[in-house]
Structure 1
Amino acid sequence: MIIDKEKAKHRAAGLDLFRVVAAIMVLLFHCNIHHESSFGPLTGFVSMSAIFMTGFFMLSGFVLFRTYRERELFQKDALKNFYLKRIFGIFPLYLFVAVLYVVTLGQESMFQNLVLLPIELLGLQSVFSTLFPVSHNGGTWFISCLLFAYLAFPLMQEVVKQWGTRAKIVAIGLSLFILFWSPLVVHTFSTDSIYSNPFFRGLEFFIGVVLASLSVNVKWFATWKAFVVEAVLLVAGVSIAVRLNLFVGNYMLYDWIAVPLFGCMALTLAGLKSPHLQNSSVLRYASAASYAFFLAQTFNTDIENWLFAACGIQNNVLQITVSIALCSLIAVALHEFVEKPCARMLKKKLSKLS
């Protein structure tokens, strides 16, 4: 997405790593569900790595608060600039991908696409849970959820900044209760999935905001050892639950382990001092192109199905390698030819307003 001076000032390379890993894990999840790719002893974990979307929403709230914690967004042109940055950072690439998908891969009729058009343009598709498998929404639903979270962020920030530590802990506890309990309601009464529901994804985003507002000054917490322990606990917890066949496929029910550990990872990586990460141009680029990488997956499966059949690719490792390479190639093209030009346009517009 757009990289500006504000983001650079508050940039933590560890969080860049978090973002890149989340994007890759979602791709590996797609490899597993669409091509039954095997990852050895990690296959069970990868089969549930859609939980990394939870990490993505938490990270979005966490990073946004760190970026704007010293700003008063309700002052003068600050609010307008905030929303302009979000619009220019999300909509151009999203609309490009949406149109490209409809033209090349869409199965809907012209009438259906016209009916969907206002909903897609306004980013309201996540409000309709049954639209998830329609058109490109299986790959772009998260943008709709993110738009709602961004819309509410200025108010979230102002409220959270006025809270004391106790109020923040209570807010996190209540949010966790809702996130942990709601999937049980879905499971018990077989209601519509809440996987792409903007309210629940907004709660994950909100937890990230509150976590970023807390001061954690424990040195041993912001270390590679702490991160490794958190990662091992995440993999082990999910793998054991999958082996025991506990709610497999109900990704939101795995928030019971995903949210606490992703929260710990965010705090750890935000405070991690690593010159190797900080100076890595590859990591910076991969993080900047991560949004494009998520959207590239909208096309990946269809292209892979054709490519694997045309070239007779059946080897498991080769299929995974091709999938990663293909998605990376598409992401780079989207980032270079759509995202970057739009970022330059935004910079010019904001310079005229200032």
Structure 2
Amino acid sequence: MFNAGTGFAQASATPVLSRDGPLDALRFLAALFIVLYHVAERAPVSLFSLSPAFGRGYLATDFFLMLSGYVLARTYGARVANSEVDTWTFLKRRVQRIWPPHLVMLALFVAFFLATTAVGLAPQNPQWFQWDPLLPQIFLVQAWFVPGTSGWNMPTWTLSALIVAYALFPMVWRKVAASSRPLRLLAMGVCAWVIIDQAALMAFGVHGYQLPLRFGLIRGVPLFLIGVLVARLPVTRLAEQQALPLAVTSLAIVIGVQALGNFDYFSLALLAFLIYAAGASKPRAWRWAGAAGRLSFPLFLTNTLTAVVWFGLVRMLDAKLGLPIAAQWTLWALAIPATIIAAWLFERLVDAPLQTWIKSRSRSGGALAVGKMREASA
């Protein structure tokens, strides 16, 4: 069923990924669950103690990494396979997408820390604001086995790992696209990931997702490549016709399984199938999903600082007023919409204008280069 034929032609024939559909909705849901995972311990009673399922938010990060590989393969795969986009151009576009807003967010982190320190407000977690990890994080190399602790905008370790994945993508995709056995490749990729995870368990005594963030490449790159391999699977007629029911069923099983216990490998397999099923869906034109999907990256970037500010204010209120438990739970719950609002403001006021400016500069630079080439040949 999954024998797609050989050569670049079949790989390039995969339909272009539609926007404003199930995958955009899933991107937002995953980002939201990551936020919940990050604030779970800040609740009046830690959510981790209420149910072990809340402690498996790392699955949402793994889902994000696989989804990144899948989306990029479906978006750029045909152009990469046909050599319309070279490795440098592809990498430059991806770095331009993630690095500038990351720098803005990191500058806001530093400004917040300096301002609160100046007025005598010590951070609740001072280990997050040490200066040593700042330089590697500025250049997004903190997941490249850089010694030291993690801090500042810690979730950006995934961006650090993804930069390496982006650099590998064009070469990997050309080989993957040329294969006539995509299902076998996917099975090999999954086996390789399991071997890496078991090697981490034997060497360090923890699974890959529990390794210090400086080892982020070990976790991030293989999951990204699994997403790439999922994108190579042909979209069957059954998958296209039953895409939404299959996706909803997969998501429901993933959520239900977490209540039964720790079944990470099974959960990741279901998440990979969820990506495949959602990606097989016909164009939906769900405007709300498109808007939510656009918020996923700003939400990922901003949620840590928003939580630090929000819960710092809550802590000050509690110290002065002695908040009752009901008020503490209410303020904790309001942190979730607060992170969404902050992400929306960042997307509107920072990220979108910044990307517009970068694209205009790139077009101007390209036009200037073409003009100079014409002058030289005249």
Instruction: Write the deviation string for residues 310-340 of structure 1: whole angstroms up to 9, x where unpaired.
Output: 4446436523431112111221122122211
For the pair 1:293 / 2:299, whether they are aligned, the reply is yes
Instruction: Write the deviation string for residues 31-79 of structure 1: whole angstroms up to 9, x where unpaired.
Output: 2123256779994322312210000000000000000121137847643
2:219 to 200, 207, 222: 200
Query: Which letter maps to 1:230?
Result: S
Quickly say closer, same or farther: Cα 1:236–1:41, change in 2 above 3 A.
farther
Quickly say closer, same or farther: Cα 1:241–1:79, change in 2 above 3 A.
same
Q: What is aligned with 1:172?
A: 189
Query: Which letter maps to 1:272?
Result: S
Q: What is aligned with 1:334?
A: 346
Query: Which letter maps to 1:302?
Result: V
Quickly say closer, same or farther: Cα 1:10–1:141, change in 2 above 3 A.
same
Higher-Rg member (1/2) = 2
Cα drift, residue 85 of structure 1: 1.7
1:262 to 271, 287, 295: 271
Provide the aligned C-alpha RMSD in A: 3.3
2:230 to 211, 216, 220: 211
Query: Which letter maps to 1:213?
Result: R
For the pair 1:68 / 2:72, whether they are aligned, the reply is no
Query: Which letter maps to 2:87?
Result: L
Q: What is aligned with 2:28?
A: 20
Cα drift, residue 10 of structure 1: 2.4
Q: Is the 8 A contact 1:126 1:132 kept in 2?
A: no
Instruction: Write the deviation string for residues 265-308 of structure 1: whole angstroms up to 9, x where unpaired.
Output: 00111122473xx232x321221121110111221332222232
2:43 to 20, 31, 35: 35
1:229 to 246, 249, 262: 249
Q: 1:114-263 to 2 correspondence within 5 Å?
A: 116=133, 118-128=135-145, 131=148, 133-136=150-153, 138-165=154-181, 167-185=184-202, 188=205, 193-194=210-211, 196=213, 197-219=216-238, 222-241=242-261, 255-263=264-272
Q: What is aligned with 1:346?
A: 358
* Partner SS, residue 318 of structure 1: helix
1:305 to 311, 335, 345: 311
Q: What is aligned with 2:335?
A: 323
Distance in 2 between residues matched to 1:173 and 1:180, nearest whole Å = 11
Distance in 2 between residues matched to 1:26 and 1:336, nearest whole Å = 22
Quickly say closer, same or farther: Cα 1:132–1:57, change in 2 above 3 A.
farther
Count of residue pairs brought into register by the alignment: 330
Query: Which letter maps to 2:108?
Result: L
Q: Is the 8 A contact 1:33 1:47 kept in 2?
A: no
Distance in 2 between residues matched to 1:77 and 1:205, nearest whole Å = 20
Distance in 2 between residues matched to 1:28 and 1:320, nearest whole Å = 11
Distance in 1 between residues matched to 2:76 and 2:54, nearest whole Å = 34
* Partner SS, residue 261 of structure 2: helix
Q: Gapped runs of 5+ residues in structure 2?
A: 1-14, 115-125, 368-378
Quickly say closer, same or farther: Cα 1:298–1:38, change in 2 above 3 A.
closer
Q: Is the 8 A contact 1:129 1:194 kept in 2?
A: no
Bigger Cα displacement from structure 2, 196-205 vs 21-30: 196-205
Distance in 2 between residues matched to 1:153 and 1:256, nearest whole Å = 24
Quickly say closer, same or farther: Cα 1:9–1:216, change in 2 above 3 A.
closer
For the pair 1:87 / 2:95, whether they are aligned, the reply is yes
1:10 to 14, 17, 26: 17
Quickly say closer, same or farther: Cα 1:348–1:213, change in 2 above 3 A.
same
Distance in 1 between residues matched to 2:251 and 2:336, nearest whole Å = 22
Q: Gapped runs of 5+ residues in structure 1?
A: 1-7, 243-253
Distance in 2 between residues matched to 1:48 and 1:77, nearest whole Å = 37
Q: Is the 8 A contact 1:32 1:38 kept in 2?
A: yes
Bigger Cα displacement from structure 2, 18-27 vs 289-298: 289-298
Q: Is the 8 A contact 1:108 1:135 kept in 2?
A: no
* TM-score normalised by structure 1 residue count: 0.81
Identity %: 19
